[in-house]
Amino acid sequence: MNLNMTTNKKYLYVTKCLIPQMLWQRICDLPESEQFRYAYITSFIKVMGTDNNRFHNVNISHKVWLNRIGSGYRRYIDDLKAWNIIGIQTNEDGSESFSEGHHAKCYSITLEANKSGWILKDYHKRKSKSVPDDLVAVKNGFDLTDPIISYTYASMELLLVDDENDIQSRNIPSVIPLDEDQLEMVCDIIKGEHWLRKLETKNYTIDYGKNSGRLYHPVICMPKTAREHVWFQDSDVVMDYDIKSCFPVLLTAMVPESEKAEYKKVLDGDIYASIIEGTTRDREDCKVAFQQFLNGFVSNYVSKWFEQHFPLTFKAIEGDYQNMSKRLQTMESNIIVKGLIPLCIQNGYTGLITCHDGWMNSGTFKHEAEVVNYVKNEIFKVCGYMPVIKASRRKQDDNPPFPIKANSDGKTVTDEEHALLLQHPTYRNVYFEMRGADRERKQWAREIHRCRGDGRVIRRQREAKRRYIRLAGEWVRLLEEYLQINKKENK
């Protein structure tokens, strides 16, 4: 696998944009450079505002538009507002409002634009030069006099990103309409590419969150699927660690003594599984609902579960709902950011990168035991419960290159031919189902490392792998059919 090791090179990018169908009807006849400006604005709002398949408003600085659209960006935003494609949050007097600190405005895609459907389109030949090593901190404006930021920057400098040809997600062709499942996957892909691009061109910032003290950098911001393309220079292995059920564990500190013993028993198992038992919800959905419950005391199935099983804890959260999520995030950052990183600095542990409720390090990192024990003991001091630290191992050879546009004989089709093929429902459905099965196969493979032999997890991984192999075979067969027909037509 090729890795980008040059620190001052030019990159030729394909920028993927999501475009509402009602906007595409207006701009499809415009020059591509004009299309891109409209498309980039709507795509960035859609992608950055989509989290766990839920869409919300998103704060965006004018610098984003200035960097990618140019100084005339305002005209394109005004057109999109006039066409009822996007909305911007306003004050009582109708003027556009700024977020706290006057750095960003709150954007959204209108309901009408969302309902019109979405297409995916590639825009080519956008050159970008990486920032020289000695100017990264100056250009991006982060403070290297802060020891925590300085340590994190030094660790980020040890990272490499898969070569563009090896990043599977960059090979989805355009122009194609998307259904809801495909739209979710593509949002994840585009968001990942955005942060991978920032990382490989060194065009990123490292800074603290305003309220919680959490540390933010590209590796934290990118989706998990994108992290699969990030490696350390000194090893083809990456170790990922995270605190199992971190927020529920930290919540133990606020649980009244009369309910604490029973609450710890639930944590000894899987609190998310306990909450969704007897429902059709899945674990990932439960995590989101748990966060919503803590963030604003949202009445949902998590709040009802707490009210039924731990009524005193429910009342404690209800009485402090405006600060609860912030308090838990501050507890987490005090341990991971303000505790773990200074420990690494003091003891000379290099090459560790924190990720909110966990961290990642190279396969050559020799201090895993010390780091894990430190985190577990600090959490125990705070909340009186000894957590489980889950570890997963990622190796480059574990994820063979995805067979984009290649058949069993090694013959290939061009991007344009592949885009035409995707207009055929059979081919298109097989292609996206195969990609979904491949993603699921990798997710369950990671779970196997964490669960250490759980039979249910192993069965799910094998089922996903068999489905992927079946769909890949069907996909190759369709490709070969196409190539055979094309060969006859050429004769």
- Which 3-state string (H, E, C) describes 231-294? EECCCCEEEEEEECCHHHHHHHHHCCHHHHHHHHHHHHCCHHHHHHCCCCCCHHHHHHHHHHHH
Determine the structural domain holding residue 479 and report its residue range: 402-490
In terms of domains, do 248 and 212 share one? no
Q: Residue type at 392? A: S
Residue 130 belongs to some domain of the structure: yes
> Average per-residue pLDDT in the chain?
79
For the residues 133-148, what does the mean pLDDT come to? 73
Residue 87 pairs in a beta bridge with: 108
Q: Look at residues 400, 422, 451 and tell me which one is the last residue of a structural domain.
A: 400
Cα gap 271→191, rounded to integer Å: 30
Read out DSSP for 32-60? HHHHHHHHHHHHHHHHHTEETTEE--EEE
For the residues 298-313, what does the mean pLDDT come to? 88
With a cut of 90, say whether residue 293 has pLDDT above it.
no
Residue 1 belongs to some domain of the structure: no
Residue 5 belongs to some domain of the structure: no
With a cut of 80, say whether residue 430 has pLDDT above it.
no
In terms of domains, do 216 and 257 share one? no
Q: Look at residues 400, 434, 454 and tell me which one is the last residue of a structural domain.
A: 400
- Cβ proximity of 444 and 461 under 8 Å: yes
Interval 439-473: pLDDT, tens: 666 666 655 545 544 566 666 666 777 777 777 66
343: its two tokens: 């420990």
In terms of domains, do 223 and 172 share one? yes
Q: What is the pLDDT of residue 407?
A: 39
Interval 58-71: pLDDT, tens: 888 888 898 888 89
Domain count for the chain: 3
In terms of domains, do 255 and 330 share one? yes
Q: Residue type at 222? A: M
Read out DSSP for 288-327? HHHHHHHHH---SHHHHHHHHH-HHHHHHHHHTTTTHHHH
Q: Look at residues 334, 367, 400 and tell me which one is the last residue of a structural domain.
A: 400
Q: What pLDDT band is residue 405 in, cutting at 50, 70 and 90?
A: very low
Residue 4 belongs to some domain of the structure: no
Choose the weakest-confidence range: 4-8, 128-132, 398-402: 4-8
Residue 367 belongs to some domain of the structure: yes
For the residues 306-333, what does the mean pLDDT come to? 86
Residue 150 belongs to some domain of the structure: yes
376: its two tokens: 């577990």
In terms of domains, do 417 and 340 share one? no
Residue 135 belongs to some domain of the structure: yes
In terms of domains, do 134 and 276 share one? no
In terms of domains, do 74 and 16 share one? yes
In terms of domains, do 101 and 219 share one? yes
In terms of domains, do 75 and 223 share one? yes
With a cut of 90, say whether residue 99 has pLDDT above it.
no
Is pLDDT larger for residue 45 or for residue 236?
45
Burial class (CB in 10 A: 0-12, 13-18, 19+), 447: middle
- Cβ proximity of 204 and 215 under 8 Å: no
Residue 477 belongs to some domain of the structure: yes
Residue 90 pairs in a beta bridge with: 96
In terms of domains, do 297 and 370 share one? yes
In terms of domains, do 266 and 134 share one? no
| Phi-psi category of residue 362: left, alpha or beta, with phi > 0 → left and psi -120 to 50 → alpha | beta
In terms of domains, do 390 and 460 share one? no
